[in-house]
Structure 1
Amino acid sequence: MTTSQDYEVFLCHNSKEKQQVERIRAQLKQQGILAWLDKYDFEPFRPWQDQLEEIIPQIKAVAVFIGSSGVGPWANIEMREFLVEFASRQLRMGLVILPDCPQELINSVPRFIKSFHWVDFRQQEPDPMEQLIWGITGHKPVPTLKVIPQSQSDDLSSEPNKEVPTTQELRNPEVIKTQNTPQNQRDDSGDDLSSERGVNYTKLRNLLKAGQWKEADLETVTFMLKAAGREIESWLDIESIKNFPCTDLRTIDQLWVKYSSGRFGFSVQKRVWESVGKDYEKFGDRVGWRKGMPWKKEWLYYNELTFSTKAPQGHLPVWGFRGVKKNEDLWPDLFSRVQTCKL
Structure 2
Amino acid sequence: MEKFDVFLCHNSKDKPAVIQVAEQLKQRELEPWLDIWELRPGFSWQDSLEQQINQIGAVAIFVGSSGFGPWQSQEINAFLRQFVNRKCPVIPVLLSDAPTEPQLPLFLQGLMWVDFRSSQPDPMGQLIWGITGLKPGTRPTIQPKPPETSPKLIKTNDLASEKGIDYTKLRDLLAAHKWKEADIETYLMMMQAVGKKDGGWFSTDELLNFPCTDLRKIDQLWVKYSNGKFGFSVQKKIYLGVGGKADGKYYEEAWNKFGDKVGWRRGWILNKEWISYSEGTFDTSAPVAHLPMRASWRKSIEFELGWASGIWVTDAMSSLASRVVNCNI
TM class by smaller structure: 0.3 to 0.5
Q: Please give the TM-score of this superposition, normalised by the length of structure 2.
A: 0.48
Task: Answer 1 or 2: which has greater helix percent.
Answer: 1
RCO higher in structure (CA 8 A, sep ≥6): 2
Task: Answer 1 or 2: which has greater strand percent.
Answer: 2
